[in-house]
Amino acid sequence: MVLIANPAAGRGRGGRLLPAVRALLATSGVTDVRLTDGPGDERRLAREAAAEGVATIIALGGDGTWGQAARGILESRRDTRLALLVAGTGNDFAYALGLPVHDVRRMVDIALGTNEQRVDVGVVDGLAFLNVAGFGFETSVLEAAPRLPLLRGHLRYVATALPQLFTYRAIEAQIRFEDGREATGKFLALIMANGPRFGGGFRVAPGASVRDGQLDFLTVRDGNVIRRAALFARVRFGTHAAEPEVALRRVREVRIQFQDPPLMDVDGELVRAGAAELDITCMPRALRVACGVRIE
């Protein structure tokens, strides 16, 4: 086993947890610890560890760290198991797996154990994602989030998002579904969800499962500020699906044409797409992940 740790995760929470995690792992003989030096380092470290034949990569961080580690494992073409240790701000993928995110000792026990499940992985513009990929309003929120460094989780997301309800400019897109149907117009948000929530607790796709071989695709057409606020409040509690601006579909693949290469939210990290036309697909059961109960 190898521990890949992002000390900067959760605005330094990863670094604060690292001594305790090291000590807990060392009692079971796990002493190979590899630290990230900068953004995206988890991907390289995971790819190298998997290529070396490491059986389990334990990733200390949040959704971004876990997504990067998953990319590295998949790029290695090894069937390496990924285990999560929580130190991020949202930690939404851990929620999707039902992990005890507030109990470090139990999370370490799960990482050291043998129980696992195979989970689906989404791919957008060649980048794998574990929890969510999105366009539109949420990317604007993520851009502004560093201005509120003292808040975390959903509180930070809410405080950042509220001013954006007044200033955000909708994105124009043409969507082609796998059955040939199309949707065109101005959208407040386009979100491909593997797990049920994002932003530290926003239930964007309450029925989503990481094991159903599909992605839950949420499209939200734009409206005035009052409608934007109403939709934002409903997404927080997962009651938005019946709103007239909202459509929620389960898909295996979809193609989206934008006017220009869009800014994307990929597991909580901002990435500029390489093209204006993007294919988004689901890779069923592509990754082994440690969990509390064995699931075949």
Mean of the per-residue pLDDT values of the chain: 92
- 60 forms bridges with which residues in the sheet? 5, 85
Catalytic residue of the set 75, 269, 277, 296: 269
Question: Would you state the structure tokens that stand for residue 95, as one six-digit string?
Answer: 């929620």
In the residue annotation, 269 being an active-site residue is answered as yes
Cα–chain center distance at 43: 14
Residue 211 DSSP one-character state: T
Task: List the CATH code of the domain at 132-284.
Answer: 2.60.200.40
The residue type of 288 is R
Strands, DSSP E only, in the chain?
2-5, 33-35, 56-61, 81-86, 116-124, 127-129, 132-136, 171-177, 182-193, 215-221, 246-251, 253-258, 263-266, 269-272, 277-290
Q: Residue 292 — very low, low, confident or very high, per pLDDT cuts 50/70/90?
A: confident
pLDDT at 69 (0 to 100): 98
Architecture of domain 2-113: 3-Layer(aba) Sandwich (3.40)
Q: How does residue 80 score in pLDDT terms, banded at 50, 70 and 90? A: very high
Which is higher by pLDDT, 40 or 208? 208
Range with the largest mean pLDDT of 1-15, 49-63, 192-206, 224-238: 49-63
pTM over 0.85: yes
Residues 34 and 190: their CA atoms lie apart, in Å, by 36
Q: Which CA distances in Å does 207 have to 19, 92, 162, 241?
A: 37, 14, 26, 11
How confident is the model over 256-262, as a mean pLDDT?
97
pLDDT at 236 > cutoff 90: no
Please report which helix (H) or strand (E) contains residue 160, including its range.
Answer: helix 153-167
Query: pLDDT tens for residues 5-19?
Result: 999 988 889 999 999
Q: How confident is the model at residue 158 (pLDDT cuts 50, 70, 90)?
A: confident
- Which pLDDT band, with edges at 50, 70 and 90, does 144 fall under? low
User: Binning pLDDT at 50, 70 and 90, where does residue 141 land?
Assistant: confident
Angle at 189 between CA 124 and CA 266, to 5 degrees: 30
The tokens describing 287, both together, are 């990754």
Q: Examine the pLDDT at 102 and tell me if it is beyond 70.
A: yes
Query: What pLDDT score was predicted for residue 154?
Result: 60
Torsion on CA atoms 255, 261, 265, 266, rounded to nearest 10: 70
The pLDDT assigned to 63 comes to 94
Q: Is the pLDDT of residue 93 over 80?
A: yes
**pLDDT score for 261:** 97
For residue 272, what are the β-bridge partners?
263
The pLDDT tens digits of the residues spanning 160-173 come to: 778 888 888 999 99
Model confidence at 111: pLDDT above 90: yes
Mean of the pLDDT values across residues 94-99? 94
Mean pLDDT value across residues 188-202: 91
Residue 202's pLDDT is what?
Answer: 86
- Give the residue-averaged pLDDT of 211-225: 96
Rounded CA gap, 30 and 24, in Å? 9
Q: What is the pLDDT of residue 151?
A: 53
Domain boundaries, the chain: 2-113, 132-284
Structure confidence at residue 98 (pLDDT): 92
Does residue 267 sit in helix, strand or coil? Answer: coil
2-113 and 132-284 share one CATH topology? no
